[in-house]
Chains A and B, each alone.
Chain A
Amino acid sequence: MTGKSYDAIVIGAGHNGLTNAAFLARAGLRTLVLEKNHYTGGATVSRELHEGWKYSNCSYVCSLFRPEIYNALDLGRHGLKVIPLTASMTFKQDGDYFGSYHDPHARRRELMRHNLRDADAAVRFDADVMRWCRLIRGFLLRTPPDPGSFRPRDAFEFAYLLKKFYELSENQLYEFIRFFTMSIAEYLENYFEDETILAHYSGGSIIGTGLGVYSPGTAYVLLHHAMGDVDGNIGAWGFARGGMGAVSGAIASAFQAHGGELRNDAEVARILVSGNKAVGVRLTSGEELMARIVVSNLDARRTFTKIMDANDVPPSLLERARQFKIRGSSGKLNIALDGMPTFPALPDDSPLTLGHMHFTDTLERLERAYDDWKDDRWSADPYADTLIPSQYDPTLAPPGKHMMTVFVQYCPVEPDGGWTDEKRDRFGRTVIDQIADYSPDFKDLILHAEIRTPRELEDEVGLTEGNIFQGELTFDQLLFNRPFPGYAQYRGPVKGMYMCGSSTHPGGGVMGAPGTNAAREILRDLRRPDTTPEAFSDD
């Protein structure tokens, strides 16, 4: 056995792995992060795939990143600057559009232009969603209690959750259950009438999921939009200056400032276990590195079926890992543009091009897009979340040129007969054609387009089946069930082995919470002082 020895090794330099490592290093542990790719960040990256352009080619916005972590790691000083993204809009097939403006008066006027009653309902809607948001935010940086345990700590945590919920009135409790179990379409129909308004506010709830707008369990995803916290703008989405790589870059910089060591091109082949205890890792190169703590930032399926020896994993856990639901459903286009495309439906100088642009204006179109995915096809008429961030971040494209990112729902893990490059390009054309319907000069401006299906996401970044959340966010894989019942407290099946990726509570999105929570549990087991932040109190 050769190689250096560490206190902790973190496998994978995704944003959660780096966050986890940063808190461990901050506690004085000699920490090493190993990354298989030559670049750092996992799915939180900015890559120059066309000369002069930077693509955030996986994740593309950061609304969920916890401000507590931003403060604790002092990410501002490490170069992270988040620009609030406050507008969104949907183009209608009849040539009109619906805009959701940052300015509350403009937003209200726009709602009124479409439906007077909806403008009033929006007041009720905003207040209700904000209530659930304030309730849930407090739970993100906490470890879920284990319902099968009798330890005082779990009982205490259950009591804490119960107490928090019982601050709600009886009717609010019922409304909360409805919110968590309804479909986004039906939930919004409790408030709104206008078809375009319904479609506009529904779209975000299907991002990354294997569910449709009428599938129960999609309403609560609204929180992902409301929970954002950018520079104190609650509810705002944000764009990191320099692309998403700036997020992972800042965390990596904070990690290194605390003495951490980061190695790229170092793929882990095996977590080494001896005497039911993790002792280190072996790289694909054969090199062995020893540590008393090993943390996996890989998804739960990969962790237990690929880099752990089957003999080190209890058979029931291995079975769970094989059955872990991690179907990908999203594609992505990153496009270099020769200039700013025009959208004739919009007035000149409309601020709406600065935000999210969508092209699906009815619930039926959104639901039909889902039907395609259920039958293993990409959506013929997809939901495309489109942004042109180069309008306010000059670092992304040369002067006068632009960068467009298009997140596409739905794209199958594997179409009939498997993916080929030709099929991938046809998928890309479907999306480009949809946008071109609303922007006549768009196609002529395209200089380069990177098209990504779940196949590319798995091959390059290592997200199994291309699932952007490292595991579907359905009730069987949430809270104390995430990733598996009995294993939701970040600890693996052998001593000294932990999980810190989005496969763990509270799940996907560039949030940093799983990595932080895992660090808290590790430091607790080592009886080290806790370096992780507590959740901000509720305002």
Chain B
Amino acid sequence: MTTDRYDAVVIGAGHNGLVCAGYLANAGMRVLVCEASPAIGGMAAERRFGDGKQYSLPALAHLQFPVATTLREDLKLDSFGYSAGDPVETVTLARDSEPVILGAENVRGGTLGDADIAAYPDFSKRYREFAAALAPLFETKPPRLRNPAGGDRSTFMRLGWKVRFGLGRENMYEFLRVAAINVYDVLNEVFDDERLKAAIAFDAVIGNAMGPRTPGTVLAWLQRLHSERHGPPALSNGTLVAALARSAETAGAVIRPGCEIERIVVENGRATGVALAGGETLEAGIVVSGIDPRATFLRLVGAPQLDAMFANRVRQIRGAGVVGKLHLGLEGLPEFSGIDASQLRDRLLIAPSMRHIERAFNASKYGECSEHPVFEITVPSLADPSLAPEGRHVMSVNVAYLPFGLKGGWAENRSAVVRHLLAELESYAPGIASQVTDHELLSPADIERDYGAVEGHWHHGELSIHQSLMLRPLYGAAQYDTPVERLYLCSAGCHPGGGVTGLPGRNAAKRILEPGAVS
């Protein structure tokens, strides 16, 4: 039963799907965005919780970095109400001493030695330069290693030039030395203070099933630094998703929430449309999937439509989530030892040492929750009081490591885990447990259920070296096109990966709009 025909159907109104839809619509295509849930935004959407759903906060992305200027300009996001939000610093807590504070350019506080304070700006600058050298790779489709096409050669040449001449000889040697190793050894070479090292290591590992000692964490961190170079982190304020949606709609795209797709219709190896859960079939010139590549291939396309080895390789994609999200509705502002109320507006970290993070990670390898987890905390209601009832506050906590495949199951252990997490928080913020009026824990299993990310993984797949660049999500589908003709990918599962950057969506749209790509 055919009702309509679009040039492109985008599956999922997460921020990458919206970015891609915006670009395609601006290029004159008739675009439909189908979103399974009633609200748009995916992991960057708002979420309500509490007995009367009286608390509200960003679902998963409680921090955002300013999106790239090109993206902002191309989609005219500023004219649709986008603002980069209020910048915050990172405050790393301790039970019994002053916090260490990481700003954009410097570090201060705690028992930091002069050597660390002096080394930080240079270190930070150097790694930002490394990230910038990789920009030619991050801001376009990954080049193919053989049979280069459509700009691949120029990507290689620009990358080679930036690494060799952009960095200079000494920096190039250093870059080639550290690019593929772990962040643990690199930080131990440069710094002494455990909390400073842990705060940096946290950024390198968070979201992935990696500890500071896992090789490849420097590259994962560089991928993150690349998106950060557009500005300091800010509390997520929800304007990005709204601006993206308005931008796409203004260009003519139609966004349909509550529209679940059951499968992608493939005929003779070519995607011709989508079948909705209600039985309706929509014809489309192309289909672009903004959801997890594993779900795209195995659930929506189906293994029978794929080459057996390709389907097998899709199954081998690594990406079991290890981060949970704890939401607390509080009677008042919590009091953390060592910081004053104004610092609650910042990003708070509980990660006392790299060894602490590593041990927390160890447990997750065997399906156990960390005995002493790592926390990233924000209080969104301080920036936007409307998120909580008058006088109350809402606290948003990323918790690592909580494994997707918890031994004994999440349903059976949820309340014990919550009790454990509250007890841990209590030791940094005495009295917090008694302030809690409502709470909600999103385990990776819940994230999979509510946001469709397979195994609840933030990035739709580990950002390990063997799943990065031209191997992301897997070779044969790493240039945003797939073995199924006219089916494209645009989610965080693609290069350059997760974070609220919009780059996968933008790169995918550019790839689709290459001359001759779609007839």
> Could you tell me which residues of chain A, from 322 to 350, have a CB within 8 Å of some CB in chain B?
323, 325
Closest 8 CB pairs of A and B: A485-B173, A475-B180, A170-B146, A174-B475, A181-B465, A216-B215, A476-B181, A178-B466
A316 to chain B: closest residue by CB: B170
Rounded to whole angstroms, the CA-CA distance of A182 and B475 in the bound complex is 15
Compute how far the CA of A182 lies from the CA of B313 in the bound complex, rounded to whole angstroms: 14
A147-B172 contact, Cβ under 8 Å, with A374-B358, A475-B215: yes
- Docked Cα-Cα span, A214 to B215, in Å, equals 10
Besides the contacts A174-B145, A216-B464, A475-B181, what 11 more A-B pairs have beta carbons closer than 8 Å?
Answer: A147-B164, A147-B172, A174-B475, A177-B466, A181-B464, A186-B318, A215-B214, A217-B180, A323-B189, A485-B173, A485-B177
Would you call B362 and A371 a contact (CB within 8 A)? yes
* Residues of B in contact, count (CB < 8 Å): 36
Cβ of B47 within 8 Å of any chain A Cβ, yes or no, is no
B39 touches A (CB below 8 Å):
no
Which residue in chain B gives the minimum CB-CB distance to A211?
Answer: B215
B216 & A216 in contact (Cβ 8 Å cutoff): yes
Asked if A474 contacts B215 (CB within 8 A), the reply is: yes
Query: B185 interface residue, CB < 8 Å from A?
Result: yes
Q: Which residues of chain A come closer than 8 Å to B466, judged between CB atoms?
A: 177-178, 181-182, 186, 216
Question: Does B344 have its Cβ within 8 Å of any Cβ on chain A?
Answer: no
Max chain A Cβ within 10 angstroms of own Cβ: one of B174, B177, B366: B177
Measured CA separation A217–B217 after assembly (Å): 12
Interface residues in B350-380 by Cβ distance below 8 A to A read 355, 358-359, 362, 365-366
Q: Is A367 part of the contact surface with B, judged by Cβ < 8 Å?
A: yes
Contact B471 A178 (CB under 8 A): yes
Question: A368 vs B362: C-alpha distance in the bound complex, in angstroms?
Answer: 8
**In the complex, per-residue mask of A460-487: 1 if CB is within 8 Å of any chain B CB, else 0:** 0000000000000011100011000110
The smallest C-beta distance from A182 to any residue of chain B, in angstroms, reads 5
**5 interchain pairs (CB within 8 A)?**
A148-B169, A148-B173, A170-B145, A481-B176, A485-B177
Contact between chains at B189 and A181 (CB < 8 Å): no
B470 at the interface (CB under 8 A from A): yes
Number of A-B residue pairs at CB separation under 8 A = 83
Contact of B177 (CB < 8 Å), options: A367, A374, A481? A481
List A contacts of B147 (CB < 8 A): 170
The 8 A CB mask of A212-252 against B (1 = contact, 0 = none) is 00111100000000000000000000000000000000000
Task: Say yes or no for B144: interface residue by CB 8 A criterion.
Answer: yes
A217 CB contacts on chain B under 8 angstroms: 180, 215-216
For the complex, give the distance between the alpha carbons of A214 and B362 in Å. 11
- The residues in A between 175 and 211 inclusive whose CB is less than 8 angstroms from any CB of B are 177-178, 181-182, 186, 189-190, 211
Contacts of B214 in A (CB 8 A): 215-216
Per a CB cutoff under 8 Å, which of B144, B172, B181, B358 touches A474?
Answer: B181
B158 at the interface (CB under 8 A from A): no
> Complex Cα distance A375/B211, Å?
13
Tell me the complex Cα distance, A501–B172, Å. Answer: 26
With the chains together, A170 CA to B144 CA distance in Å?
8
Closest to B465 in A: A181
Q: Check if A190 sits within 8 Å of B316, measured CB to CB.
A: yes
Q: Tell me whether A171 is interfacial, beta carbon within 8 Å.
A: yes
- List residues of chain A with CB within 8 A of the CB of B470: 174
A173 within 8 A of B: yes
